[in-house]
């Protein structure tokens, strides 16, 4: 089966992605020609399967040691596999493709815990990561060859298992005459720096810190669950960021760390947002000023990462934003103010739907895995050497 796939000049795959924002499952149906860094990609269809508020809450519980347990993790692993399978099949149906036209599915899974550094407290707690959404369930439900669970292979060779997207960013956005920073703003923000004419060994990437995670949780809390995000940045636009609180937020030790580095709900999750909201209340901020401060925090953390960690290493002409944050006009406007020397744009302006980018890249990662080609970027993750990331489940 794999031999036949490798012999095809072009294949059709479905990339599946669910990130820390917990919006839903993104499914990108793509046609891929060639292989490796010479791959040519065409997005055939993009579909998203939204999560209900109840499911979002249950996943958040799994991401918190105080509310998680092994029984719920075990059951949700299968449930998420079924949900991912449904998203893949619906995406193929909407794309007008027959079952036999799909060559493979590639799933990132749903991260519930990411521990890229040793704790130093317990010898049994090794550097590790856990993504749920069982690959065998996806393969058996869809009848398609399925790959996924990419992060552990990079961690096994000394990397942090994140970020994974630089490999695809180079394929999709590398330019001979422009330096580009690919900034994804999902629950967590991550960036990929592509110097002009960059090869794989010149690409570097890291997590910039919180993306939409704190903004979303702030809105959810302030509206008693009526709203789950600040649509278009409208609420944040009505307020004024509190400069003293913003400075406190930006003093977090994570921002002083040098790449490679990665983060998640472990640092910037519910407990962090609860502390932020408590400080906002102490300072007498109303809802609009609180949301504005959270939005400014994300924007400043991204801009500071660009100015302090990227620009000293390479020329950046354009900052290309993707993910849910690309739709937050207040966030985008603040980034433009903070980075006047760079053109700020979204991925859609270059022909790739803002929300589809990461799902497209996971299709690319799965394709490389199936061909036995290394698909990590050691300069981004800190891995000792290039390796093939992924696991396989047969239908």
Nearest residue to 15 (alpha-carbon basis) of 116, 128, 144, 203: 144
| 242 marked as part of a ligand binding site | no
Binding site annotation covers 322? no
| Strands, E assignment, 36-173 | 40-50, 104-115, 128-132, 146-148
26 carries a ligand binding annotation: yes
24 among annotated binding-site residues: yes
How far apart (Å, rounded) are the C-alpha atoms in residues 382 and 326? 28
Query: What is the C-alpha to C-alpha distance for residues 15 and 157, in angstroms, rounded to an integer?
Result: 25
Q: How far apart are CA 297 and CA 303, in angstroms?
A: 10
CA 194/CA 238 separation, integer angstroms: 35
Contact of 209 with 175, CB cutoff 8 Å: no
Phi-psi bin for 141: left (phi > 0), alpha (psi -120 to 50), beta? alpha
The whole-angstrom separation of Cα 319 and Cα 303 is 10
Q: How far is CA 170 from CA 35, 45, 237, 324, 369, in A?
A: 13, 21, 34, 21, 17
CB neighbours of 229 closer than 8 A, spacing ≥ 6?
212, 215, 216, 219, 220, 324
- In angstroms, the CA 130 to CA 331 distance is 30
Q: How far apart are CA 365 and CA 264, in angstroms?
A: 21
Does the annotation place 21 within a ligand binding site? yes
List the beta strands (DSSP E) in 195-346. Answer: 204-210, 318-322, 343-346
Six-digit token string for 287: 């809802």
Q: Is 20 annotated as a binding residue?
A: yes
CB-based contact 105:145 (threshold 8 Å): yes
Q: How many helices (H) and strands (E) does the chain have?
A: 15, 12
CA atoms within 13 A on the CB side of 2: 13
Binding site for ATP: residue ranges? Answer: 19-26
Q: Which residues are annotated as a binding site?
A: 19-26
């Amino acid at each position: 089966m794999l031999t036949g796939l490798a012999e095809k000049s072009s294949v059709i795959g479905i990339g599946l992605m669910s990130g820390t924002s917990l919006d839903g499952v993104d499914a990108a149906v793509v046609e891929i020609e060639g292989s490796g860094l010479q791959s040519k990609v065409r997005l055939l269809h993009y579909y998203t399967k939204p999560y209900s508020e109840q499911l979002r809450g249950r996943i958040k519980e799994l991401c918190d040691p105080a509310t998680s347990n092994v029984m719920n993790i075990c059951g949700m692993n299968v449930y998420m596999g079924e949900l991912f399978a449904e998203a893949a099949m619906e995406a193929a149906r909407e794309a007008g493709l027959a079952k036999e036209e799909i060559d493979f599915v590639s799933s990132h899974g749903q991260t519930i815990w990411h521990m890229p550094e040793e704790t130093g407290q317990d010898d049994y707690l090794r550097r590790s990561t856990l993504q749920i959404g069982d690959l065998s369930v996806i393969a058996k439900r869809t009848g398609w060859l399925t790959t996924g669970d990419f992060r552990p292979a990079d961690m096994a060779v000394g990397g942090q298992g994140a970020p994974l997207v630089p490999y695809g960013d180079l394929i999709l956005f590398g330019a001979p005459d422009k330096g580009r920073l690919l900034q994804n703003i999902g629950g967590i923000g991550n960036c990929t720096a592509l110097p002009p004419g960059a090869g794989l060994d010149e690409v570097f990437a890291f997590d910039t810190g919180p993306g939409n995670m704190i903004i979303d949780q702030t809105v959810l809390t302030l509206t008693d669950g009526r709203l789950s995000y600040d649509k278009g940045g409208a609420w944040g636009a009505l307020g004024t960021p509190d400069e003293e609180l913003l400075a406190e937020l930006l003093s977090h030790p994570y921002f002083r760390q040098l790449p490679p580095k990665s983060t998640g709900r472990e640092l910037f999750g519910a407990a962090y947002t609860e502390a932020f909201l408590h400080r906002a209340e102490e300072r007498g901020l109303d809802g609009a000023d609180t949301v504005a401060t959270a939005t400014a925090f994300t924007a400043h953390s991204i801009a500071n990462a660009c100015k302090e960690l990227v620009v000293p290493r390479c020329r950046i002409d354009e900052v290309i934003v993707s993910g849910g944050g690309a739709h937050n006009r207040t966030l985008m406007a603040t980034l433009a103010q903070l980075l006047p020397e760079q053109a700020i744009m979204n991925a859609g302006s270059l022909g790739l739907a803002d929300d589809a980018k990461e799902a497209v890249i996971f299709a690319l990662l799965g394709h490389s895995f199936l061909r036995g080609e290394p698909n990590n970027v050691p300069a981004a993750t800190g891995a000792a050497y290039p390796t093939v990331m992924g696991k396989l489940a047969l239908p």
